[in-house]
Amino acid sequence: MEKKLNVEGMMCMHCKASVEKVLSAVPGVTAVAVDLEAKTAVVTCEASVLDADLVAAVEKKGFKATVA
C-alpha cells in the first residue's frame, strides 16, 4: 500500500535524505521516495502502518508532515 505525505521544512538534499532515513526506519515500511521540490514523500508500506507513526517519525526530525 502507498501513503503520501506532505512535508514542510525540507530545504536541501540533506533534509531529503534525513526524511527518507527516518521514514525507512518505521517498522513495516518497505520503500520511501521523497520529492524535495514537491515537498512530498511517498511511502510503500504494510497496511498495518499507521499514518500517525509516519507523521510522528518525520516531526521528530523537525519537519512538519501531514497525510495527503
Could you say which DSSP state residue 26 is in? Answer: S
Domain that holds residue 24: 2-67
User: What pLDDT sits at residue 65?
Assistant: 98
Q: Give the pLDDT confidence of 18-58 residue by residue, as tens digits.
A: 999 999 999 999 999 999 999 999 999 999 999 999 999 99
CATH of the domain at 33: 3.30.70.100
Per the structure, the count of domains in the chain is: 1
DSSP H or E stretch at residue 14? helix 13-24
